[in-house]
A and B are shown apart, each in its own frame.
Chain A
Amino acid sequence: MAFFTYVERYPLACAPVFFILLPLLLCVARYRSLNSAFRLMLIFLAIDLFVGLIMIQLAANHQNNILVLNLFVPVRYALFGAMFIEQFQSERYRHWIRYSIVGFIPFALLNIYISNYNLADLHYHRVGKYAQVIESALIILWALLYFYETIKALKVSNIIQYPFFWVCAGLLIFYSGNIFFFPFWHYMYQWEKNLELGFIERIPAIVELISLHLFSIGIWQTRSHRDTIKS
């Protein structure tokens, strides 16, 4: 009951969680036409939905849910990184992403430890200071490199019909919309000193909704497009 009350009280914050269902169901419907990158996207969406629902449930029950978010960050980066590894043609870029995943996971875990003096105290658990910023910078870099590679190699005949272009566009919008916002999460979302910033606080949800729309377009395009190099 508390779950629905929370959803009713914070519809915009909860909307992206439920909106995940659209790309997720599209992924399921298009499962046969999904390549490995989009199958990773399916896994991400499923985990994202699960994490989102748990976070709403915890928030509805007045429990700190930030640990779930902190743990989700390295998983999310690993999944997105693996998607880029699948899509990049250049072996060099693939190596860079592999190394970044290997480096980022311990960094994100360490960041949780650094940002929280007492890990056992879940009640006052806070968002990691740097992990999401680094994650954003890396994903923006991979997205831009992917665009560069796509343009340079002319590997798709019509980029608008190319599914991964939309995924990249979604990622770029999501992370560039949040990159200057993430550093403040550590200070904003505290159990007893919650900072109210008004409309600015709604930006991540709006940006996430836009990116989920873009993901959905990409997944939709997989039907007419086999995601091959020459389409």
Chain B
Amino acid sequence: MLLMAAFVIAFVIYYQKKQLEQEKKLRDVEKNHQRMLLETALKSEEAERRRIAQDLHDDIGTMLSLTKLSLNQLIKTLGTAERPNNGNAFADKANLRTEFTLTKAQSLVEETIIHVRRITRDLVPTTLEQFGLAAAIDEFIVRMGEHVGPSVRFHCDAEDIPRQSPGVELALYRIMQELVNNAIKHANCDEIEIDLHFDKGKLELQVTDNGKGFDIENVQASAQNGLGLRNIESRLSVINGAVNYNKPGVRGSRARVQIPVEPERITRPEPLYPFRKSGVNE
């Protein structure tokens, strides 16, 4: 009986351990499934962005370029067809007005082309694929500088940053975009500092602002406000990254994103933005 009791105790320990292992495996499967779903959703989102960018570039961009060319042609035609009106003030005035309207239409089309190009680049960062994360962030900051807003500084030694897979680089780029946008929209700051560096086998991205700061727990608890931060966490969960938020000083906030570094990519990737035509809107 004593032996039986000892056997029962040993069996309980063994069986419970076995069951927990199974439970853990099941949880891992569920976790992987969730991760795959998330990855698929993010990939679909990127594919949709790419499709929109491609449509904007190929269709609307081309049409706008053609419109611009037509307007140029029309202005030239008007210029050559212009003849003396024998002191007809009314005809002179009408000609001038037509020319003015055409020039105005031309400048509007040019402006629209610039906007379409900007939107296209925002949707699919081609620089990221071609030149890497540091270059893409640089370009992002330059484009941000075109608008009135906080001054953005970027610290990075691009040579130290190994190239990562397109998915990882894109995720980091989107996270950086989200963090900078958050700082501009909510932090009420006038300085943003982006720091990208390689540290102890991890790629680290820091976005620091000198704004009013925020309480991470409150933001995460809020259904609407925490959406951006949840997006960041979702993207990071796919690439095994982690994020933490802290206060760099009396004011402001700092987001610190860390991802494990993959072996350096040797082969040149497929273009992220395979336009059918190139240089249409030049």
Question: What residues of chain A have their CB less than 8 Å away from a CB belonging to chain B?
Answer: 140, 144, 147, 150-151, 154, 156-160, 165, 169, 172-173, 176-177, 179-180, 207
Contacts and interface: CB of A to CB of B under 8 A. Distances in A.
Interface stretch (B8-16, B78-86, B273-281): B8-16
A177 B5 contact: yes
Contacts of A157: 20
B23 interface: yes
B1 interface: yes
B168 to A, nearest CB: 33
Contacts of B9: 169, 172-173
A160 B20 CA distance: 13
Contact of B1 (A147, A151, A154, A180): A180
Interface in B218-277: none
Interface of B: 1-2, 4-6, 8-9, 12-13, 15-17, 19-20, 23
Nearest to A152: B19
Contacts of B13: 159-160
Main secondary structure of the interface of B (DSSP, over half): helix
Given A147-B12, A150-B12, A172 B23 contact: no
Contacts of A150: 12, 16
A172 B19 contact: no
A173 B1 CA distance: 9
A176 B20 CA distance: 28
Nearest to B17: A159
Contacts, number: 41
A28 to B, nearest CB: 27
B20 A144 contact: no
Contacts of B19: 151, 154
A165 B12 CA distance: 10
A1 to B, nearest CB: 37
A179 B12 contact: no
Contacts of B6: 173
Contacts of B8: 144, 147, 172
30 contacts: A144-B8, A147-B12, A150-B12, A150-B16, A151-B12, A151-B15, A151-B16, A154-B16, A154-B19, A154-B23, A156-B16, A157-B20, A159-B12, A159-B13, A159-B16, A159-B17, A160-B13, A165-B12, A172-B5, A172-B8, A172-B9, A173-B2, A173-B6, A173-B9, A176-B5, A177-B2, A177-B5, A179-B1, A180-B1, A207-B2
Given A173-B2, A177-B1, A179-B1, 7 more contacts: A147-B8, A151-B19, A156-B16, A157-B20, A169-B9, A177-B2, A177-B5
Q: Which of A150, A160, A173, A180 has the most CB of B within 10 A?
A: A173
A156 B5 CA distance: 21
A172 B6 CA distance: 8
A154 B24 CA distance: 12
A163 to B, nearest CB: 15
A41 B6 CA distance: 22
Nearest to A156: B16
A169 B1 CA distance: 13
B11 to A, nearest CB: 9
Contacts of A156: 16
B3 to A, nearest CB: 9
Contact of A176 (B2, B12, B16, B17): B2
Given A151-B12, A159-B16, A160-B13, A173 B5 contact: yes
Pairs of residues from A and B, 6 with the lowest C-beta to C-beta distance, nearest first: A176-B5, A176-B1, A177-B2, A159-B16, A172-B5, A147-B12
B21 to A, nearest CB: 11
A9 to B, nearest CB: 27
A159 B17 CA distance: 8
Contacts of A177: 1-2, 5
Contacts of B2: 173, 176-177, 207
A157 B5 CA distance: 22
A141 to B, nearest CB: 12
A147 B12 CA distance: 7
Contacts of A140: 5
Nearest to A173: B5
A150 to B, nearest CB: 7
A108 B176 CA distance: 75
Nearest to A206: B2
